[in-house]
Amino acid sequence: MKSIYLDNAATTKIDEEVIEVMHTSMQNNYGNPSSTHQYGRKAKSAIETARKNIAKQFNVSASEIIFTSSGTEADNLILYNAILNLGVQRIITSKIEHHAVTHTCNYLAKANNVSINYVDVDENGSIDLQHLEELLAKDSQKTLVSLMFINNEIGNILPIRAVCDLCKNYNALFHSDTVQAIGHYKIDLQESKVDFITASAHKFHGPKGVGFAFFRKGFGILPMIHGGEQEKGARSSTENVHAILGMQKALEIANKRIEIDKNYIEKLKFYFISELKKISEFIQFNGLSSELNKSSYTILNVRFPTQNNMLLFSLDLEGIAVSGGSACQSGSAKGSHVLSEILNQNDQDKTSIRFSFSKYTTKEEIDFVINSLKSKM
């Protein structure tokens, strides 16, 4: 049976060089980074070197990077601090954010009497910047705007500099979940004045179980996890040394190859779109995922002409791994909250599948998937 992996927005294959770095670390860095003896100091030094190298990739200082277990934890840490530490009284977000943001905002807002405003999105899932400005202008309460850089389901790219400018003009803080962008797009945090971003290593060919939060200098950080003074007091828990080093290596490789990989994957995505259109003129694309200059080159969300509840299952039986939405919602019968927000009921009832690509995807695999879909239409 074929084995074709087109669910890279959920997670990615780990680079061989990353595995080598982690394997070497497992052999040599077995000391606890909090220990004061030579084994601990060696592990601590490795972590701090990785922190500095990661910070350089974003043109920030090492002190602004806090290691976490995931992008979800990083989002939680930032939102927690915005409300409980930085005095935020209002959050402006959208209903198509990742649940790491929407669910956390809802919980924290109810627990702390903070208001939430939702910015409008159009039928393509694009943020209404005029409405965002209206929301910012109508209230003088201390505000945090939380909008993701790249939507994990439909791939839409946020006009992040325009949002930065609006937040600056209205003295609002700006948090962006950048999990789907890091490793695929260069981010210079001196050019884009985002206050907080998040990363998850397994989205750019690194290991699972490690990520980081960026807090722009000047913001104090209260920990969510207590019981130690790791991460300069921002996160108690012995650091995952091997995963941190793996993340740093994965980011280094990804950023070094960004243009090469982008050009390669974009061509595959364009080819896939053109071949899908040949199957049926009634195949549509959700959000802006078919527009190469307005969506991530790694994500394509396809809406088929009819409802086929067995399509995902039948593709899986042929060895084709794809997703009906965010992998974090696997097993849920609720469907995609993103698609339910932007599609009418008739289109929601049709089968939609997210295909997501990586540098390991091949044209031969795309052809196999196209032929498989042809047989099912």
Domain boundary residue, one of 201, 226, 256? 256
Helices (H), 235-344: 241-256, 258-279, 311-317, 337-342
- Cβ neighbours of residue 197 closer than 8 Å, sequence gap 6 or more: 58, 149, 175, 176, 177, 178, 182, 187, 189, 213, 214
> Do 211 and 300 belong to one domain?
no
CATH number of the domain where residue 233 is located: 3.40.640.10
DSSP string spanning 19-46? HHHHHHHHHH--S-TT--SHHHHHHHHH
> Do 229 and 201 belong to one domain?
yes
> Do 311 and 200 belong to one domain?
no
Low-confidence stretches of the chain (pLDDT beneath 70): 325-334
Expressed as residue numbers, the domain containing 242 is 16-256
Quote the pLDDT of residue 325.
59
Quote the pLDDT of residue 331.
46
C-alpha 118/C-alpha 347 separation (Å) is 23
Nearest residue to 307 (alpha-carbon basis) of 324, 319, 290: 324
C-alpha 180/C-alpha 184 separation (Å) is 8
Q: What is the pLDDT of residues 112-126, one digit of tens each?
A: 999 999 999 999 999
> Do 331 and 347 belong to one domain?
yes
Q: Which residue carries 């839409």 as its tokens?
A: 156
> Do 47 and 150 belong to one domain?
yes
> Do 138 and 160 belong to one domain?
yes
> Do 242 and 95 belong to one domain?
yes
C-alpha 157/C-alpha 180 separation (Å) is 10
> Do 207 and 92 belong to one domain?
yes
> Do 234 and 208 belong to one domain?
yes
CATH number of the domain where residue 285 is located: 3.90.1150.10
Q: What is the pLDDT of residues 166-215, one digit of tens each?
A: 999 999 999 999 999 999 999 999 999 999 999 999 999 999 999 999 99
Question: Which residue among the candidates 105, 164, 167, 328 is catalytic per the annotation?
Answer: 328
> Do 245 and 306 belong to one domain?
no
Q: Are 203 and 181 in contact (CB under 8 A)?
A: no
E strand segments, the chain: 4-5, 65-68, 90-93, 115-118, 143-146, 173-176, 196-200, 211-215, 284-285, 299-303, 320-321, 352-356
Domain boundary residue, one of 203, 232, 256? 256
C-alpha 292/C-alpha 372 separation (Å) is 24
pTM of this prediction? 0.95
> Do 264 and 251 belong to one domain?
no
Domains in the chain, number: 2
Coil, strand or helix at 156: strand
Q: Are 204 and 184 in contact (CB under 8 A)?
A: yes
Identity of the residue numbered 213: A
Whether 328 sits among the annotated catalytic residues: the reply is yes
Encoded tokens for 226: 């207590």
C-alpha 202/C-alpha 22 separation (Å) is 14
Encoded tokens for 206: 């690194």
Domain boundary residue, one of 256, 282, 304? 256
> Do 54 and 177 belong to one domain?
yes
